[in-house]
Amino acid sequence: KNEVEQSPQNLTAQEGEFITINCSYSVGISALHWLQQHPGGGIVSLFMLSSGKKKHGRLIATINIQEKHSSLHITASHPRDSAVYICAVKGAGGTSYGKLTFGQGTILTVHP
């Protein structure tokens, strides 16, 4: 079993729909990252959180440390949101670098 599991693996939506991508992890963590990768493109960090909720534009990320679960929500989805969304966690414990463990990614396609 992977340390970081995402669901669904593939998600298709119509423009305007509310989207939720889930991430569950099995280890203690100090931080969780949500990343975005456009087709053929680079990887961009969307959020980094260790508790509660963060919002940026139409994107909202939440985390429940007790349940070891995080969700990424996209409100009023748009075709330009089509991308792979990747969840990654940094394990707990004192280190001076940010070694991450990644989920397999969720492929999101938003149709006009």
Binding site for another protein (CB under 8 A): 30-31, 33, 35, 41-45, 48, 50, 86, 88, 90, 95-100, 102-105
In whole angstroms, how close is the CB of 108 to another protein at the nearest point?
16
In whole angstroms, how close is the CB of 79 to another protein at the nearest point?
23
Nearer to another protein, 103 or 110 (CB): 103
Q: Is 10 exposed, middle or buried (0-12, 13-18, 19+ CB in 10 A)?
A: exposed
Nearer to another protein, 93 or 112 (CB): 93
Nearer to another protein, 12 or 45 (CB): 45
In whole angstroms, how close is the CB of 97 to another protein at the nearest point?
4
Q: Is 35 exposed, middle or buried (0-12, 13-18, 19+ CB in 10 A)?
A: buried
**What b/e string do you get for 62-72 counting C-beta neighbours within 10 Å, with b at 16 or more?**
bbeeeebebbb
Are 88 and 49 contacting, i.e. CB atoms less than 8 angstroms apart? no
Nearer to another protein, 54 or 68 (CB): 54
In whole angstroms, how close is the CB of 100 to another protein at the nearest point?
7
